[in-house]
Every structure is written in C-alpha cells, then in structure tokens.
Structure 1
Amino acid sequence: MSRIAIIAGQGRLAPAIAAQLQDPAVFALDGFEPEGLAATPFRLERLVPFLDELHDQGIDRVVFAGAIRRPRLDPEAFDPRTAQLVPRILMAMQSGDDAALRTVLDVFEESGVTVCPVEEVAASLIPGEGVVCGAPTDADKRDAAKAAAILAQTGALDLGQGVVVAQGLCLALETLPGTEAMLDFAARHSGLRPNPNGAKGVFFKAPKPGQDRRVDLPVLGPDSVDQAAAAGLAGIAWAAGGVILLEQAEMVRRAEAAGLFLWAAGGLA
C-alpha cells in the first residue's frame, strides 16, 4: 500500500493520528506546524508544486488533521500553475472558509491525491454508540436530544459544533470563539437553570449537517472534560461515529473523578 501523508494543523490531533500510522509523511501549512510532531512546511501559494512533491514521494493519500486559520497569501509567491487556481479559490472564499477548504480538497482529489477521513485511517479515535462512562439520566438524555435538535437547525448557519442544554433550555451555543469560551459562558450563567436542584445540563457535540467528513470533525479531549466539570454540567454527549476523542483513557479518568458521564449517542438527530 502507498505511503500516506498527514497534512497537520495545530493541536493534538495530528500527533494522535501519526501514532496510529506506520511511517507517515507529515506536512504542515507554513506557520501552522503542530507541537510535538516534526512536519515539513509548505505554502498555499505553491500548492501545485507541493502536490507534485507528494506524487514524487509515492504518496497518493492524505489525511487532514488539526486546526488552521486562513493564511495570509503573498501575491508574489505564487508559481504560475497555482496562480491559475486563485480565481476559483477566491470565489469559494466568498461563501466562507468551509467552501474555500472544500475547494482545496477538490484540488487535491483532481490531482490524483485522495483525501481520507480520520475514521478511515485511525478508526479507534472515533468511538461508536454507547455510554463510555457514568450513567446519563432520562433528563440528561432529553437534554441531549434537545441539543442535537438545536445543532441540526443551526448547523447550516456555520455557527459551531457544540451546544449546552440544561433542563430543556439552550444555555450556550458554540460560535467563533470556540468550545472553551462556550463552556465558560455556561459556567457563568448556570444560575439560569429554572430548577436549581434539577438536571445540571449536557454539553453536546456533533458534526454540522452535510459536513464534509474528510475534514474538521469535532474533537473532544481531557480539557473538554475539565471545562464541562467547571461549568457544573452532568456530562458530555456527542453524535456517535461523528466526533474524534483524544486521549480517551485520560478523558474517562477525569470524567469519573468529576462524576461526569461520557456518552456516544446515536439516533438523536
């Protein structure tokens, strides 16, 4: 089988995937190299020569892993062949970062490089349906179902992949500042729950409806557990088969210590 390459971004996902692959090549967009994982940088302005390099190394499969932001492009750095792609990418950018990223993925595929989803190359990072630890109550399950319904409606607006629901009410919705900011907001407004002695609330995460599963699947890790515990929530639920878990054993250890449940929920949306 041909060698696979990781297009690494920031965060712990790329190292987690690298640990499950045999001798992967690792590349990163210049300025967005991952911590703790050696990566060869490349620039978007020279995307076509980079694709040529992948072919020269016998690489015909890549997996995107980690966070990147829209890079600043240097007009003088474009090679002639990549420059021909600029109008296409700029047009996609007018529809948002997701559309621009999908266009870049299409360029990879059109060059003969297959973009693999994480579940194809590191399936153990995406657990299937079931309670991982703890025991969600019926009230917790209702809150999770309400959360799934909220994300099913807001996903098309490209707001975020997380939500906090307590006692049937939306306490916080993930937006551009990210998950940590959302859970901090939920912690500061926990007193808005109608019944102080009722259900504490659930942090729910799921891919956006119609999301390209080759990139940007939601990720949970030990820090997510700590943040949910600090927000006073009952536990974390997520769409089974659609969320990446990092350091699962550590997540379970921290959840059990904090009295939280972890649940890969199926059939909620």
Structure 2
Amino acid sequence: MTGPVPQIDSPVGVIAGGGVLPFAVADALQTRTITPLLIGLRGFCDPNEIARFRHHWISIGQFGRLKRLLRTEHCRDVVFIGSLIRPALTSVRLDWGAFRVLPRVMAAYRGGDDHLLTSIGRIFEGEGFRLRGVKDVAPELLMPPGELTKAAPDTRHRADIAKGQAVLAALSPFDIGQAVIVIEGHVVAVEDIGGTDALLANLARLRGQGRIAAKPGRGVLVKAPKTGQDLRFDLPTLGPRTIEGVAAAGLAGVAVAAGNTLVAEPQAMIAAADKAGLFVTGVPA
C-alpha cells in the first residue's frame, strides 16, 4: 500500500540523475497538472530527454546555484531521482553556497551511501525545501504486490525469496547493498558498490566458467530497501535492463519489495520477462 498522496505545490523541482526515471516522474507530474522543473546533473542526466521539459543544468557541488534556481522558479517541493555514482571529493565543483555547508557534507561522506543521501536531504530541509519521494509525487511508478508476469514463483522460489529478504534485513545496518541472489537455498552473491547490473554480470560470468552448479532456470534476484532507509532516496529500481541481466545469469525470476521499488519502463520490462519465461513479483517488505 502506498498510502494517501500528499498535497504537492506546483512547480516541483526534479533533481535529475541518470536513466529514464527522472522523466517518468516528470511525465507523472504533468499528468496530475503539476509542472515539473528539471535540474539536470551534468555528466549523468540525458540531454536529449531533458529537452522535453523546462530545465536547467548544474554540476555536482553547485549547491548555491541549485538553491537559487529552485527559489527563483518557486519550487518548494523537491525530488531527487535517477542514477548517480558516488563522486570523488576531488571531482566535486563547489560554489560559494556549498562552502557554507561543507562541514556537514564532509561529515556525510564518512558514512555509507544511505547516510550520505539522508544527510544531504537534511541540509535541503534546513534551507526550507520539502524533500519528496516517488511515493509522494508518482506512486504509480512503484511495484505493486503480486506477479506482473505470466510466470510465477513456485515453492522453491518462495523459499529462496524468504531467505533473500532475511539476508538483506541482516545486512541493512552495514549499508552494503539492496540486492542478493539466492539459488536453491544458497546465497551466491550480494550487491556491492557495483550495483545490480554488475552483480548479475558477475553471476553470468561464474556460470560460464562452470562455477555455478545449479541448472539454469533456478534461483532468484531479491531486491529491497535497507531497514530504516529514508525512502525518499535511492529506492531499488527494476527495469528491462535488470531482466536482461537476470536472463543472462540463468535465474528464474525477480522478487522486489512491493510499494518500495521503482519500476522503469514497465511494459517493456514485462514483455522482456515473459519472452524469457521469467517471473517478476512484488512481495511484502
């Protein structure tokens, strides 16, 4: 259940990283007659797609410019969305506005990714902005409960899903990752800084080397946010590219946290999964 959608002021500032999700959020806002203002992160946001919307560009570290843009455009509600590789401090272009909050940013870098994102969010809230999540502005982009595909998990798959959920819950305090692969009761891989695509590619490589004993068509990729994670940031994401990786890795399907996982390009994703004979299911958190 996603709960009631809060009242959102128009326009909404969409801080856009990589991938298709920033534009899916912007389209969803327009459907609700809310104007999106996209602020693209240079080096991450797609310049062709962002051209469909009113937009500006910033570099990572231009906190002062970002604040000025949002206030000039009357955006009190702000959403951070899209892929973003954790930058090295040497690559961050700090402006004068960023220097004022630099001690807090430096402190945030000492923690894991979730700590960093939450700390940045608190800085924005301290400046008078309202940080919103996808649940607030585009709940239709979240994974529903149950199967989206023709295939469904059987009893063995359900046991692997339950074990994967338990592993992710146990790892949550360490801020490691949001995905795990379980095959016939064995935990064979855990997501690290490389992300889900790298996790699946590595499993496919191991299978090609004969190091995975289980036959193709068994095992599950399980994805869920960390326990206590600020769900306005960095939700697990599922899309056609994930399905390609799952198929190449020889798994049976994907199980993700219903209501807490973003679904990119759902029609293409479901078509790809059905073609590969994979299941995609939303399970309770």
**TM-score (norm. length: structure 1):** 0.90
* Offset, 1:45: 4.2
Is the 8 Å Cα contact of residues 143 and 257 (structure 2) preserved in structure 1? no
* 2:143 corresponds to 1:127: yes
Amino acid in the other structure paired with 1:188:
R
Amino acid in the other structure paired with 2:195:
G
Residue in 1 aligned with 2:71? 55
Amino acid in the other structure paired with 1:152:
A
* 2:224 corresponds to 1:206: yes
Paired with 1:111 and 1:195, the residues of 2 have a C-alpha distance of 53
Paired with 1:178 and 1:44, the residues of 2 have a C-alpha distance of 21
Root-mean-square deviation (CA), in Å?
2.0
Amino acid in the other structure paired with 2:228:
G
Residue in 2 aligned with 1:167? 184
SS at match of 1:163: strand
Change (3 A) 1:262 1:44: closer
Paired with 1:128 and 1:156, the residues of 2 have a C-alpha distance of 26
Question: 1:146-187 CA distances to partner (integer Å, 9 max, x unpaired)?
Answer: 011111111222221111101000121111112122112222
Question: 1:31-58 CA distances to partner (integer Å, 9 max, x unpaired)?
Answer: 3323522341124544134313312221
* 2:38 corresponds to 1:26: yes
Amino acid in the other structure paired with 1:24:
P
Residue in 2 aligned with 1:179? 196
* Offset, 1:126: 0.3
Paired with 2:140 and 2:44, the residues of 1 have a C-alpha distance of 25
Identity of aligned residues (%): 35
Paired with 1:240 and 1:25, the residues of 2 have a C-alpha distance of 28
Residue in 2 aligned with 1:142? 159
Paired with 1:224 and 1:135, the residues of 2 have a C-alpha distance of 17
* Offset, 1:13: 1.1
Residue in 2 aligned with 1:5? 13
Residue in 2 aligned with 1:106? 122
Paired with 2:227 and 2:76, the residues of 1 have a C-alpha distance of 28
SS at match of 1:120: helix
SS at match of 1:100: helix
* Offset, 1:105: 1.0
SS at match of 2:29: coil
Residue in 2 aligned with 1:243? 261
Give the unaligned 5+ runs of structure 2: 1-8
Is the 8 Å Cα contact of residues 173 and 227 (structure 2) preserved in structure 1? yes
Is the 8 Å Cα contact of residues 202 and 235 (structure 1) preserved in structure 2? yes
Is the 8 Å Cα contact of residues 77 and 131 (structure 2) preserved in structure 1? yes
Task: Report the count of equivalent residues.
Answer: 263
* Offset, 1:30: 3.4
**TM-score (norm. length: structure 2):** 0.85
Amino acid in the other structure paired with 2:78:
V
* 2:118 corresponds to 1:92: no
Paired with 2:225 and 2:114, the residues of 1 have a C-alpha distance of 13
Is the 8 Å Cα contact of residues 62 and 95 (structure 2) preserved in structure 1? yes
